Homo-oligomer: A and B are copies of this chain.
């Protein structure tokens, strides 16, 4: 059974000996995504975030970047996307985000979510997750941690 899913290409597959559909501590879910100029514009429109770093290459270069940046919070949206697509009805309790490296428009990003702790409390499951985004292989662009309540430990 392949646990890792990807919207785009599957960069790295982790195979499990168990065929059980329940998430376990240590399990990793991944998704790749390229954020386009259209994505940046759509996100800017819905978030009202018109920071020139996302629209003006010259402004971005003047501040030491190579080019226009994708909004960090748009890149970070990969985490709830990965969680909720595997566990519909999942509720976010917390998320920490450390923006380590810039993400440029058009770069392929891999979002990775790893279950580090699972606790059942009555009919709910609290899952602690290490949440990371990478580019160009192993370059860590976002690091952080999330806590989510899953309606079930079984993946969709």
State whether the Cβ of A3 lies closer than 8 Å to any Cβ in chain B. no
With most chain B CB atoms within 10 A of its CB, the pick from A43, A45, A52 is A43
Contacts of A105 in B (CB 8 A): none
Chain A 106-136 interface residues, beta-carbon cutoff 8 Å to B:
none
Q: Could you say which residues of chain B place their CB within 8 Å of the CB of A97?
A: 94-97
Main secondary structure of the interface of A (DSSP, over half): mixed
CB of A77, distance to nearest CB on chain B (Å): 4
Q: Report the Cα distance A94→B96, complex, angstroms.
A: 8
Tell me the complex Cα distance, A52–B77, Å.
16
Closest to A46 in B: B42
A39-B42 Cα distance, complex, nearest whole Å: 11
